Structure 1
Amino acid sequence: MSVDHDIQAARLTSQEIKNNFTDIHPPLTMKQALVASERCLFCYDAPCIQACPTQIDIPLFIKEINTNNAHGAAKEILSANILGGSCAKVCPTETLCEQACVRNSKEEAPVDIALLQRYAIDHLDTTQAYPFSREQPTGKHIAIVGAGPAGLACAHRLAQKGHKITIYEAAKKSGGLNEYGIAQYKLVNNYAQEEIDFVLKIGGIKIQYETALGTDISLASLRSTHDAVFIAIGLNTTNSLNIPGEDLKGVEDAIDYISELRQSKDMTQLPVGRRVVIIGAGMTAIDIAVQSKKLGAEEVSIVYRREQQSMGASMYEQELALTNGIRFIFNAQPYQIRGNKQGATHIQFKETTQDRSGKISTTDKIIELPCDVIFKAIGQRLNTSIFTHNADPIPEFDKRGRLKVDEQFQTSIEKVYAGGDAINGLDLVVEAVSHGNQAAAAIHQQLKD
């Protein structure tokens, strides 16, 4: 069966694109914020605090909003989570603090914690003094590898303690996932960079761009020139499908395309397939699927090898996809990709079954979908080879191939710490901030001893 390979730019007008990529969560008005804050019961030993990886005192900041002190609420949030603004927009609060809210039941919805957190940060009074200060210089110099959420959080905490920080960032910009990997409709305009500018106001932090570990710098050199090292490089290699046809044109990494989209100055010029297939079931799969629709793709399908209840994406994210016309296909494992000189035209899946233990098996039934573009959203892994290019001591890795750390976030190498997606965890922005906070405390304590 012959299928035209239909990938082109300008499927929608610039105005249509602009309308499609407005903020998915419009901010609360003051009246709305006051009404929402009234619903909080200001619980003692609140479960929402325990559900927040950064332990923000949620009842306290909501009470500040309730007394018309949004600036004070923002300071409370930022003292626990310096990236509280972006976390309010990108966190899966429906599975964290809002899920734990005592009001969350069949009869009523949880308190709008994320929207209230965003309201507070948006109303931080920038005409007042910067809410954080540096202690006296310690003379200690810490290297941080990676200017994503974990690295930035760690840097800010250590800078407050008077340490000198140099962040080595492989990309041209700071922000990591916030800058390059989050759906455009979640962090609109230049929010990620504005937040980073706020972080750097603490002083004592220098960022050296386009400097990658394993090529431009080595772990050995960092250890010899700094008092401690914090590795926060995220996951830098996309997993492969390992099926025939994967090298055809039109088979792309979802993260790479999201990065291109976020850095684009004119999204009408982005090439978009008419029929798009996404392989995966996490947040990235939802992000690329919804954005493909918003860019003008006609048919978008998310295909997952397991059952729906095993999806990594939350129910909220799944509903977001459904409301944007995304089709879900479950119990289908990629088998092969077919195409021609132009690129991929079809992808075949084998139907799967899943037993009680969660093990899946393929059947002989083939499912075939026509396509122009196939996005791989099947997770990423740590490129461990960056630690073996020189005479560096090689850190230990866990069963997932990530850096192994102890309770103090120290790797198997003395004075070398790690956090964020480079270590085992939930791979969330808010968790990365928590890792950075905790690693900073451990590093500071070690430098004091």
Structure 2
Amino acid sequence: MAAAKGPDIQAHRLSKSDYAANFADLHPPLDHHEALVESDRCYFCHDAPCQTACPTSIDIPLFIREIQTGQPKSAAKTIFDQNILGGMCARVCPTETLCEEACVRNEAEGKPVKIGMLQRYATDAAMGDERHPYARAQSTGKQVAVVGAGPAGLACAHRLALHGHEVTIFEARKKSGGLNEYGIATYKAVDHFAQKEVDFILAIGGISVEHGKALGKNLKLADLQARFDAVFLGLGLAGVNALNAKNEDAEGIEDAVDFIAGLRQAKNFGRIPVGRRVLVIGGGMTAIDAAVQSKKLGAEDVTILYRRGEAQMKASPYEQDLAQINGVTIKHWVMPKKVLVKNGKAVGLACEYTEEKKGKLAGTGETFDLAADMIFKAIGQTYVDVLDGALLLEGGRIAVDAEKRTSVSGIWAGGDCVAGGQDLTVAAVQDGKVAAESIHRALNAR
């Protein structure tokens, strides 16, 4: 439920110049000289632990060498061959816990090669070129439906189109991009980059997109099975976990994902109201993004509450540091027990300190209250089964095999909606790519 405006929840807290500075590019791109200097730091390891750590298996030493030799567009092609959303992943992928954490430079001098920044340098160069790096194979006449225009769906569609299949993407929202468009901090992908990347992907041809089409509402799985030779589901996670605290439906409690989506679509940040005192419940990237952006909108006191310790937070140490650098307080070993309400509106949280006993979380019995004007829930999203049990589920998400095949022949799935996923853009891209190759093999076998 959206928070009402009042004396402590206001828009236009800052000047236009402050908003522009606060929501500018978090990491400005490398220039040509900087890219050459950084690429020269790579050891070009034969066994490349960075490549092994990459969920999409990008040949990192190769693309860095291509940058070093003055061929950034060739480097981009090396990246895109494995990850067609390499531009966005360069901006939002937690490289500090993946490829860069595995970089051998860490052992040599405690500072990895800036792989993510080099990846952005290369992909930006290629996406600014009018010549598309890919050409479609001859048409196969096969038709594939992709449900969801998020990272998994877009990666799947592009690979299928590359093989010559005709693809129709059905997307519930007004824009394509999924979490890349609606679910990440605005300062991580400025200048409408998510839509520029969608345009780049669709430029290969053979892909059409129908917006406003939601499975379970105006789109039926049985109809797709009848009309298309194969179906890929990239449904994402539409539900939000319950807080399980008294009064959690009170006015003033918002879902952090909705707040972030609103920011991503805002044309004027000054029109977005924010409280003076903001509480964010959760320990993942969404919690960090909501908290930091609240600060950047002008909130005076922003606190993240997480029920376990720093080491257990899903947000990387880098993201945690980013929050604290921006003035956000992180309270560990704390869980909300009750939403404090006055005149029907949330005014704070009654919390309890927690501890681990024999591996299980438990309250200590010691409680305290925190005042707030706005409270955001960032406690994870859940898969909503809009298919009425048509597919086998595992752990509350769609069950798939190694090729992303579901329990029903002719239907594949990938991304956050499938069991065992990492809930990362780069992992969703890999799912879409794996599924596309499996679909291609299945269609060729007919």
| Helix, strand or coil at the partner of 2:107 | coil
CA distance in 2 between counterparts of 1:5 and 1:335 reads 27
**Contact 1:5 1:343 (8 Å CA) reproduced:** no
1:205 deviation in Å? 0.4
| Helix, strand or coil at the partner of 1:252 | strand
1:332 deviation in Å? 1.1
Q: Deviations over 1:28-69 (max 9, x none)?
A: 111111110011011112111111111111000000110111
What pairs with 1:257-272 in structure 2 (closer than 5 Å)? 257-272=259-274
Matched residue type, 1:440: A
Partner of 1:44: 46
1:179 deviation in Å? 0.2
**Contact 2:350 2:370 (8 Å CA) reproduced:** yes
| Helix, strand or coil at the partner of 1:351 | strand
| Helix, strand or coil at the partner of 2:330 | strand
Q: Deviations over 1:95-115 (max 9, x none)?
A: 000011111138320110000
Matched, 1:394 2:390: yes
1:342 deviation in Å? 5.9
Matched, 1:432 2:433: no
CA distance in 2 between counterparts of 1:175 and 1:219 reads 22
What pairs with 1:215-234 in structure 2 (closer than 5 Å)? 215-234=217-236
Matched residue type, 1:107: E
CA distance in 2 between counterparts of 1:347 and 1:82 reads 43
Matched residue type, 1:387: L
What pairs with 1:169-180 in structure 2 (closer than 5 Å)? 169-180=171-182
Selected match of 2:144 from 124, 142, 160: 142
Matched residue type, 2:408: I
**Contact 2:156 2:432 (8 Å CA) reproduced:** yes
Matched residue type, 1:363: T
CA distance in 2 between counterparts of 1:434 and 1:351 reads 39
CA distance in 2 between counterparts of 1:213 and 1:335 reads 36
Partner of 1:411: 406
Structure 1 runs (4+) deviating above 6 angstroms are none
Matched, 1:364 2:365: yes
**Contact 1:343 1:372 (8 Å CA) reproduced:** no
- Range with greater deviation from structure 2 (73-82 or 209-218): 73-82
Give me the CA root mean square deviation: 1.2
Partner of 1:92: 94
Matched residue type, 1:144: V
**What's the TM-score once normalised by structure 1's chain length?**
0.96
| Helix, strand or coil at the partner of 1:436 | helix
CA distance in 1 between counterparts of 2:350 and 2:7 reads 17
Selected match of 2:15 from 13, 17, 21: 13
CA distance in 2 between counterparts of 1:304 and 1:409 reads 33
1:75 deviation in Å? 1.3
Selected match of 1:34 from 33, 36, 55: 36
Q: Deviations over 1:340-384 (max 9, x none)?
A: 236211101111111352x11112211210001110000000011
**Contact 1:305 1:332 (8 Å CA) reproduced:** yes
1:5 deviation in Å? 6.4
| Helix, strand or coil at the partner of 2:393 | coil
| Helix, strand or coil at the partner of 2:250 | coil
What pairs with 1:112-191 in structure 2 (closer than 5 Å)? 112-124=114-126, 126-127=128-129, 129-191=131-193
Matched residue type, 2:104: V
What pairs with 1:307-322 in structure 2 (closer than 5 Å)? 307-322=309-324
Q: Deviations over 1:210-235 (max 9, x none)?
A: 10000011111111111111000100
CA distance in 2 between counterparts of 1:171 and 1:74 reads 29
CA distance in 1 between counterparts of 2:405 and 2:127 reads 37
Aligned residues between the structures: 439
CA distance in 1 between counterparts of 2:131 and 2:352 reads 60
Q: Any gaps of 5 or more consecutive residues in structure 2?
A: 1-5
Partner of 1:421: 416
**Contact 1:145 1:233 (8 Å CA) reproduced:** yes
Selected match of 2:331 from 329, 336, 356: 329
Q: 1:45 to 1:441 in 2, by over 3 A?
A: same
**Contact 1:75 1:131 (8 Å CA) reproduced:** yes
**Contact 1:174 1:196 (8 Å CA) reproduced:** yes
Matched residue type, 2:67: I
Partner of 1:248: 250
1:128 deviation in Å? 5.7
1:171 deviation in Å? 0.2
Matched residue type, 1:367: F
Partner of 2:3: none
Q: Deviations over 1:124-176 (max 9, x none)?
A: 27546311111111111000000000000000000011101000000000000
CA distance in 2 between counterparts of 1:212 and 1:131 reads 32
Q: 1:25 to 1:280 in 2, by over 3 A?
A: same
Partner of 1:373: 374
CA distance in 2 between counterparts of 1:180 and 1:250 reads 21
**Contact 2:127 2:200 (8 Å CA) reproduced:** no
CA distance in 2 between counterparts of 1:335 and 1:5 reads 27
Partner of 1:58: 60
CA distance in 1 between counterparts of 2:66 and 2:196 reads 24
**Contact 2:177 2:194 (8 Å CA) reproduced:** yes
Q: 1:106 to 1:65 in 2, by over 3 A?
A: closer
Identity of aligned residues (%): 52
| Helix, strand or coil at the partner of 2:25 | coil
CA distance in 2 between counterparts of 1:183 and 1:20 reads 12
CA distance in 2 between counterparts of 1:192 and 1:74 reads 17
**Contact 2:277 2:299 (8 Å CA) reproduced:** yes
CA distance in 2 between counterparts of 1:249 and 1:12 reads 25
